[in-house]
Amino acid sequence: MTPDEFRSHAHHLVDWMADYLENVEAHPAKAQVAPGEVLAKLPACPPARGERFEAIFSDFRSAIMPGMTHWQHPLFCAYFPANSSPPSVLAEMLMATLGAQCMLWETSPAATELEQRCMEWLRGMIGLPDAFEGVIQDTASTSTLAALLSARERATGYGANLTGLGGGAPFTVYTSAEGHSSIDKAVRISGFGSDNLRRVATDANLAMLPEALDEVIRSDLAAGLRPLAVVATFGTTSSTAVDPLAAIARVARRHGLWLHVDAAYAGSALILPEARPLAAGLEQADSLVFNPHKWLFTNFDCSAYFVRDREALIRTFEILPEYLKTKHQAVVNNYRDWGVPLGRRFRALKLWFVIRSYGVEGLQAMVRSHIEWAREFRSWVEAAPAFEVMAPSPFGLVCFRHVRPGLDDEALNRLNAEILDRVNRTGDLYITHTKLRGRYALRLVISQTTVTLDHVRKAWEIIRAVAGSVQA
Ligand SMILES: *Cc1c(COP(=O)(O)O)cnc(C)c1O
């Protein structure tokens, strides 16, 4: 592709992109294809000779687009969003054009220094003390792994990196029954073993019980095990339950454990001063992760990892072969030493574009609206006799279900699963489900970049209409 061809295709694509974002609601929120349908449209062998871009783009529209779920649809209310915004997309375009690999300060000084500054901004924006230092990781899963590995190394005097884990008593890790599956993954990869992950009991609001945590730790200590770390959750994936961080921090400190806080989705709410009391005690954590790629309008991937003991993080990951030695390494951050991968994308650029485009107040206004609209949606559910709310909803997620007199939980589970399926087949709204204490709950998340209160009203209409039409 010549520079002139690139220019012309790029202009054309930007028009397509703007049209797409403007008319995203013309697409079904959830892809309406069957397994294998897209695959069948793709030739079994790659082309031997290069093809014209027009042909490639035309196939993108006819073969690929129908198989896409539209995550930027304002009524994509499933899972948690991977939200985005126009300034973030523009930054991604520049990043792709520069194609820089930002593993070391030297391999792009601006990428390193912008990342440092953006993480300082973000730290201030969420009210975290200056004692924390931040680094951008790809995902919360990677950040939580980094936290557990750092805890392991600090606890073994950086010895497990050298000699492995063999010998000593097993390390144990603690999270609530509602903790995310990435914690299970991290204990596997760290060499602790899933059997040594303790799932601590929760209260009526699905938040970890600190007394139960203390009890499990004591019983592990009595059994000769080595309690290592607690992963508390600020906003669980199922229901956005908030673990009591201050009480958990006291227990962790009493036993000398690393406290990591998984705030993957709800951490973005901490840009609102009024949300911070919910996270009281956070300042005592050893590390925190939250994903601007979930609720801060920054394209996936962008996960903000903050750690209090930067030395523990760097000593865990630093390896310095001759070919990576550089002149300035003592006075600059080399982020390849702050996590698992060596190679790094220039992710700070999109965060910078987003924070500057909206300003802190603009971002606060969006997040605040989402929380208000979730509260409003919740009030409609509460007022409807055929529905019930199933968990507290401090952020943008509401968990609820349709109810009918005379049906037991099992029948209601089946009925709500059928409602979910039918709602998602309309293409106008995409929601997902969870189970809370064995009961099937519909999850509606209001955190999309372009969602409005009118969209939320429309979602409620769709759900009510579908629920009314389903036979038990
Ligand atoms: C989404 C989520 C994760 C995983 O996030 P990734 O960035 O995809 O790894 C972890 N924990 C919680 C609480 C989440 O909601």
Task: Please determine, for residue 233, whether its predicted confidence score (pLDDT) is greater than 80.
Answer: yes
Burial of 459 (0-12, 13-18, 19+ CB in 10 A): buried
pLDDT of residue 309: 93
Q: What is the pLDDT of residues 167-180, one digit of tens each?
A: 789 999 999 999 99
pLDDT of residue 322: 80
447 lines ligand 1 (CB under 6 A): no
Task: Please determine, for residue 351, whether its predicted confidence score (pLDDT) is greater than 80.
Answer: yes
268 lines ligand 1 (CB under 6 A): no
- Mean pLDDT score of the chain: 96
pLDDT of residue 214: 98
pLDDT band with cut points at 50, 70 and 90 for residue 329? confident
pLDDT band with cut points at 50, 70 and 90 for residue 299? very high
What contacts 166, CB < 8 A, 6 or more positions away?
Answer: none
140 lines ligand 1 (CB under 6 A): yes
The rounded Å distance from CA 163 to ligand 1 centre is 31
pLDDT band with cut points at 50, 70 and 90 for residue 358? very high
Q: Percent of the chain beyond pLDDT 90? A: 96
pLDDT of residue 325: 77
Cα separation, 163 vs 62, in Å, equals 54
Q: What is the pLDDT of residues 378-428, one digit of tens each?
A: 999 999 999 999 999 999 999 999 999 999 999 999 999 999 999 999 999
Q: What is the pLDDT of residues 85-135, one digit of tens each?
A: 999 999 999 999 999 999 999 999 999 999 999 999 999 999 999 999 999
3.40.640.10, 3.30.360.10, 3.30.565.10, 3.30.530.20: CATH of 100-345: 3.40.640.10
CB 307 within 8 A of CB 287: yes
Task: Please determine, for residue 281, whether its predicted confidence score (pLDDT) is greater than 90.
Answer: yes
Best mutation site among 83, 136, 137, 141 for ligand 1, i.e. most ligand atoms within 8 A of its Cβ?
A: 141
pLDDT of residue 90: 98
Best mutation site among 79, 137, 237, 294 for ligand 1, i.e. most ligand atoms within 8 A of its Cβ?
A: 237
Give mean pLDDT, residues 20-45: 97
Task: Please determine, for residue 328, whether its predicted confidence score (pLDDT) is greater than 80.
Answer: no
Cα separation, 472 vs 454, in Å, equals 30
Task: Please determine, for residue 345, whether its predicted confidence score (pLDDT) is greater than 90.
Answer: yes
pLDDT of residue 291: 98
Q: Percent of the chain beyond pLDDT 70? A: 100
Q: Where are the domains of the chain?
A: 100-345
Task: Please determine, for residue 272, whether its predicted confidence score (pLDDT) is greater than 80.
Answer: yes
Q: What are the distances in angstroms from CA 270 to CA 73, 363, 364?
A: 25, 11, 9
Q: What is the pLDDT of residues 234-262, one digit of tens each?
A: 999 999 999 999 999 999 999 999 999 99
Give mean pLDDT, residues 435-463: 98
Cα torsion 12, 15, 21, 22: sign: negative
Q: Which residues is 430 bridged to in the sheet? A: 76
pLDDT band with cut points at 50, 70 and 90 for residue 68? very high
C-alpha closest to that of 293 among 309, 305, 279, 304:
304
141 lines ligand 1 (CB under 6 A): yes
